[in-house]
Structure formats: C-alpha cells, structure tokens
Structure 1
Amino acid sequence: MAIDTTGFVKIAAQLPHLADILAQAIQSLGLSLDHNQQRQLLLYLDQLLLWNKAYNLTAITEPKEALIKHVIDCLAIITHLPAGALLDIGTGAGLPAVIIAICQPERQCSALDSNQKKIRFIKQVSSEIGLHNVQPIAARIEAHEGQYDVVTSRAFASLTDFVLAAEPKLAASGHLCAMKGKAPTIEELQALDQQWQIDTIKLTVPGLDDSRHLIELFKIG
C-alpha cells in the first residue's frame, strides 16, 4: 500500500517498508482498517519518534522495532476489547489509548497519566493526525472522577495493583483489560478469583517473538 510521505519527518525514508509491515500485521490480526487509519498509525509512529527526546516517550528509537513493539503490540488487543467508553491508566505516550482510538473512531477513549509532558504529547499528536475521540487527562488515577465500561493498562507490573487502582473507575458490568507480557501466576489469579471472573487471552503479535497476554476481568455478582 502506497502512503503519501507528506507530513512524515523521522520515518519518511522507511515509509514504504513500514507501511508494508503494518498492512501485513493488520491482515494477520483480522482487523479492517482503511487507508486513512493506516496512515494515522504511521503518523503516530513518526510523531512518537520525532518528539521522543523532548517528551521522553520511549526507549525504542529504531522505527521498525517501535512499530512492532508499540503500535502492532497494541493492535493485537483490538478484536478482544469489550465495547464502550474506555479509560487507559498510565497511558504514557498514548499506548494503547491512541491506537485504540484510531482503530475504533466510534469509541470515546480517555488517556490518563500523571506525567504532564506525555499528556501534552497526546494532545499534540491527536491534533496533528486528526483524532477527535481521545481525551487526554493529566492526573493521578486516585484524583480522577469518572466511570468507564472498559479500563485498560499496559503499564502496571502487578495485576493486583491494577485492579485496585482501576476498580473504582469501572461502571457496573464493566471490564478491566490488562496488557501483560507473561501470563499471570497462579498466586496472582488466586488473589483475585473470589471477586473476579478472569479470562487470560494469549496474543500473537506479528513480528514479535516475546510472550504477550491480555487479561480480562469481570466483577462476579
């Protein structure tokens, strides 16, 4: 798929190659994204790398690696997400919130992080790529008011910590969705399974050999 290089700075020279990798990943994940959405994903990657130093966004600076480990990694959860308004806790550079918002323009996505710089980047990139369904919020989760159908995170080391932080923001019948590398341990699951129905989904991320899982939790009763 040919992508117009207008507006690209950091990845312009590698654009055809990166666009091919992205298109193949989208197909392999069973997603249906039009030309404009694919362009938005690549523009997001370009902006992420362009503003990385100023905003301290990612340790990954090589475009293909950043495409796979950030963009395609987040694309792998899209088909598994329940419907409804979404809050992404500890969103950082907008991962997965911005990626979800690009793929699902009908969904309202709130991207929350206590780091003001990273929230400024999300505001800037959303404006730059024409994204209207992202609300960037600079706050600690405890200070944020709101109830959401879906609460996601890619940042929490501990599943228990994520559940404790996210549960107060969850609407009735809502789902928590935690992106993890390794599957949770039996101890982690046992600490939660009295109150939560837990579904561990093994993800395959095109181009990535590392283990990836999405943990979905739904309150029992």
Structure 2
Amino acid sequence: MFEDRLPVIRRYADLLAGPGTQRGLLGPREVERIWDRHLLNCGVLAPAIAARSTVCDVGSGAGLPGIVVAIARPDLRLTLLEPLLRRAEFLSEAVDVLELSNVEVVRSRAEDHSGAYDVVTARAVAPLSRLARVALGLCRPGGSVLAMKGERAAAELDEARPELAKLGVVESAIERLGEGLVPIPTTVVRLVAGEPKRRRPPGQGRNRRGGSGSARGV
C-alpha cells in the first residue's frame, strides 16, 4: 500500500505508539491495533483522491487520516485542521519529524477556516448532517467530502438527506475502500458539493454570543 514510503509510515506508527499515546491522542489499547485499525484503515483512502488535489483534513486529531494520506500521496497538498492545542502541536512535530513538505498544520475550527479544497476528509468527527454543514463550506464546487464512517454509514446518510439537499449536495454515495487489501474495508460516505450559493457558508448558524452547535469543534 505504501511502497517506497513504508519507512515513513513505520516512523509515524512509532510516533503514534509513543508520544501520541503518552499525550492521550490514542488510548493505550490502540497500540496493538495501530496498523489494522488506524494506518491501513486510513491508507485505503489515498487511492480515492485524484492526483495533485488539495485536501483539508477536518478535526485531524493525531493525523488520521490526514498524515497517512500525505505519506502515501506526496503529490497531494494537505491541510490538517485541528482546533485543540495539544493535538495541533503533535501534528506539527510529526510533520517535521516525517519531513512532510506537502503538509500544513492549521490550528482552527472548521467554521473559522476559509478555503476551497478539492477534497475534505473527516474521521469520527461528527454525525454526517452536522459534519456536512462545515465540510461542504470548505469544498470548491464539484469537490468532495470523504467522511469515514462505520456500520451506521447508510443510516446516517438517510438521516442526513434533507439537510444535504438544503446544502446543495449534487451526489452522495457509500463506498467501501480496500476490499481485498485489508481484512475489513473502510466505509466512506462521499458527498459532491454544488455551487456555493446553494450551500451554507462556514460559520452560519452561530448564536449572538459566538457559540456554535457543531460537535467536537469541527
């Protein structure tokens, strides 16, 4: 899966198992499952992104899937968007250690970030209906949101359809990536963005005190 980038992804695995666990970005029980549950699970996302795309990883956390995709695809330009300081610091350190010249770390909430990316990725950030409100606001027209989901992917997509229609989504689909490569394929909901005027811009819906109803500060 990672070909000549295997030494880099191994170094990242060491960072997750060491500093990442020590700082609470991953639970101690996850160390034994770093490869199958995290690295390979995220790695299968890389071939689903077109060459030389700009990508924003919302709520990047420990860099999953953003750093994994950046390692596997040096041709992509990645922005890792993370609002929490300790996570953003870990991401910046990891990018330096791994010498990822195609990655920028931005400490910000998605609602407060401006940009028009080809692809927006997210893993375990928020329910699809809430995630879509901010993620689609970061997509260029015709761009895609790739939301990594589990067993409830189909149910979340059905529940979100009224909201997606309001946001101007022109296409939605469930994709299972990595079949034949990994024991359990990764389930992804792909949303294709319509024209900006048909979608809610980032930050809309805040109350007068500047609060937001989104989950995990996405």
Q: TM-score range by the shorter chain?
A: 0.7 to 0.9
Alignment deviations for residues 158-216 of structure 1 (CA, whole Å, 9 cap, x no partner)? 1111110112211122111111112221333454257321021023465544x731111
**Using the alignment, how far apart are the partners of 1:144 and 1:114 within structure 2?**
10
Q: Residue 76 of structure 1: CA displacement?
A: 1.6
| Structure 1 counterpart of 2:164 | 192
**Using the alignment, how far apart are the partners of 2:68 and 2:147 within structure 1?**
15
Flag the structure with more relative contact order, 1 or 2, with Cα contacts below 8 A and sequence separation at least 6: 2
> Any gaps of 5 or more consecutive residues in structure 1?
1-25, 27-32
Q: 2:140 touches 2:193 (CA, 8 Å); kept in 1?
A: no
Q: 2:139 touches 2:193 (CA, 8 Å); kept in 1?
A: no
* Identity score, percent: 25
User: Which of 28, 31, 38 is the aligned partner of 2:6?
Assistant: 38
| Structure 1 counterpart of 2:43 | 75
User: Which of 63, 83, 88 is the aligned partner of 1:94?
Assistant: 63
Letter in 1 for 2:188: L
User: Using a 3 Å threshold, how does the CA distance of structure 1 residues 77 and 187 change in structure 2: closer, same or farther?
Assistant: same
Letter in 2 for 1:95: L
CA RMSD of aligned residues (A): 2.1
| Structure 2 counterpart of 1:121 | 90
User: Using a 3 Å threshold, how does the CA distance of structure 1 residues 159 and 60 change in structure 2: closer, same or farther?
Assistant: farther
User: Using a 3 Å threshold, how does the CA distance of structure 1 residues 207 and 174 change in structure 2: closer, same or farther?
Assistant: closer
Q: 1:142 touches 1:165 (CA, 8 Å); kept in 2?
A: yes
Letter in 1 for 2:164: L
Aligned residues: 188
**Using the alignment, how far apart are the partners of 2:30 and 2:115 within structure 1?**
37
Q: 1:91 touches 1:155 (CA, 8 Å); kept in 2?
A: no
Q: 1:159 touches 1:184 (CA, 8 Å); kept in 2?
A: no
User: Using a 3 Å threshold, how does the CA distance of structure 1 residues 143 and 191 change in structure 2: closer, same or farther?
Assistant: closer
User: Which of 6, 9, 15 is the aligned partner of 1:47?
Assistant: 15
| Structure 2 counterpart of 1:155 | 124
Q: 2:117 touches 2:143 (CA, 8 Å); kept in 1?
A: yes
> Any gaps of 5 or more consecutive residues in structure 2?
196-218
| Structure 2 counterpart of 1:66 | 34
**Using the alignment, how far apart are the partners of 2:87 and 2:40 within structure 1?**
20
TM-score normalized by structure 1? 0.77
**Using the alignment, how far apart are the partners of 1:162 and 1:184 within structure 2?**
15
**Using the alignment, how far apart are the partners of 1:42 and 1:167 within structure 2?**
33
**Using the alignment, how far apart are the partners of 2:21 and 2:41 within structure 1?**
22
Q: Residue 55 of structure 1: CA displacement?
A: 2.4
Q: Residue 137 of structure 1: CA displacement?
A: 0.9
| Structure 2 counterpart of 1:180 | 149
1:167 equivalent in alignment to 2:136: yes
Q: 2:129 touches 2:159 (CA, 8 Å); kept in 1?
A: no
**Using the alignment, how far apart are the partners of 1:220 and 1:123 within structure 2?**
33
Q: 2:21 touches 2:28 (CA, 8 Å); kept in 1?
A: no
